[in-house]
Amino acid sequence: MDQTRRALCVQHLDIQFSTPHGMARAVQEVSFDIHAGEIYALVGESGCGKTSAAHAVMGLINRINAPGHRIGGRVLFEDKDLLSLTEEEMCHVRGRSLGMIFQNPLDALNPLYRAGYQVYEAIVLDKIGKIEAWRRVAELFNQVKLSDPEARMRSYPQELSGGMRQRVMIGMMLARNPRLLIADEPTTALDVTIQAQVLELILALRAALEMSVWLITHDFGIVAEIADRVAVMYAGVLVEEADVLGIFDNPRHPYTRMLMASLPRGFKRDGRLRTIAGLLPDPTLEIPGCRFRDRCPAKIEVCATQAPALVEITPGHRVACHVAATVKGDLPP
Ligand SMILES: Nc1ncnc2c1ncn2[C@@H]1O[C@H](COP(=O)(O)OP(=O)(O)OP(=O)(O)O)[C@@H](O)[C@H]1O
Ligand SMILES: [Mg+2]
């Protein structure tokens, strides 16, 4: 992994959706970098803004699926600010160097076309010959370890199992040889054995293709297994970021600590987050102070009035908490 080169640089990303109850701030002033070649995990409970952030980076939030939305900030990728590109320019980036796999591959695969044809279509954009393109599809199906690739190429998505569809999706993304792969809950819909195989595949391909991966998950077990660095998100803001050892050995934000404490023992393969008491705040309300304070066991007076900034407490370890940023040793339970 190359820490000096950045694959993606997200600066002050802000996303608001128009709802009947007013503007909902799904993502607030989020900034982070993904280094070249690393697997960067974004973790947080349902509704905290993970998918919205990824969709904004991919240019997938638009007037049709989110009328009245507002997006602010900058997303630097290959010397461009993705947020300032036209749809046509963005299409070009998406098809070429930025790929995304979705939680539900059926959302991304067209039920009317055979799996092989959908990967073929992604390849012929490169204007290579038809025979060469089909040879490449077979190669990709092999690469993502689909058994009997010739038969799989002829199958329609709905004839494939969940794990197979996810492999086709990954193959489709790899056809473009992306510099950055965004994987949004790539294994949530899969059973545990298939989940492990897909994770191993992502790891192997990262190494072979030297791509970076932005992994979105609410499964700390997956984070422990494959991530290099981790960011924890709460109600649209980043509350902590560290390398994977830093997060597991020394979680500083009370929210991260509660997430860790709620992990079942031996979470390696069964690491779904259990719920923690309380609810995310209403995203349409302007909240003064820390967004986590209603659920926080460590809150102090200032938390009610001042939003904590994300500050570096040790090299590479950032936390947004008035208490964690000042207490050096053990934190209050
Ligand atoms: N198109 C939209 N219009 C209005 N609100 C939206 C839209 N898309 C997302 N939201 C809201 O933005 C917030 C963040 O949602 P998002 O899907 O990004 O969360 P998430 O962290 O990916 O959750 P999950 O783990 O369940 O996938 C939620 O309150 C959601 O209701
Ligand atoms: Mg999501």
Name the pTM for this structure.
Answer: 0.91
- The verdict on 145 and 278 lying in the same domain is no
- The verdict on 251 and 180 lying in the same domain is yes
Among candidate residues 116, 143, 175, the one where a domain is terminated: 175
Q: Assess whether pLDDT exceeds 60 at residue 272.
A: no
The pLDDT tens digits of the residues spanning 125-156 come to: 667 888 999 999 999 999 888 889 999 999 99
How many domains are contained in the chain?
Answer: 2
- The verdict on 185 and 274 lying in the same domain is yes
The pLDDT value recorded for residue 8 is 97
Task: Give the Cα separation of 106 and 110 in Å (integer).
Answer: 7
- The verdict on 183 and 169 lying in the same domain is no
Residue having the nearest C-alpha atom to atom 25 of ligand 1: 46
Q: Judge whether 68 and 18 are in contact, CB under 8 Å.
A: yes
Six token digits for residue 268: 């390696």
* Better-scored residue on pLDDT, 71 or 218: 71
Ligand 1: residues with CB < 6 A are 17, 19, 24, 26, 44, 46-52, 65-66, 218, 283
Atom of ligand 1 nearest to the CA of 280: 29
Domain that residue 47 falls in: 2-97+176-326
Question: 203 lies in a domain?
Answer: yes
- The verdict on 93 and 167 lying in the same domain is no
Q: What angle do CA 95, 98, 104 make, to 5 degrees?
A: 85
Q: Judge whether 168 and 138 are in contact, CB under 8 Å.
A: no
Mean pLDDT confidence for 160-188: 88
Atom of ligand 1 nearest to the CA of 49: 18
3-state DSSP assignment of residue 24: strand
- The verdict on 211 and 236 lying in the same domain is yes
Mean pLDDT estimate for the chain: 89
Question: 261 lies in a domain?
Answer: yes
Q: Judge whether 141 and 149 are in contact, CB under 8 Å.
A: yes
Task: Give the Cα separation of 78 and 169 in Å (integer).
Answer: 23
pLDDT class of 271 with cuts at 50, 70, 90: very low
Q: What is the DSSP letter of 37?
A: T
Question: 331 lies in a domain?
Answer: no
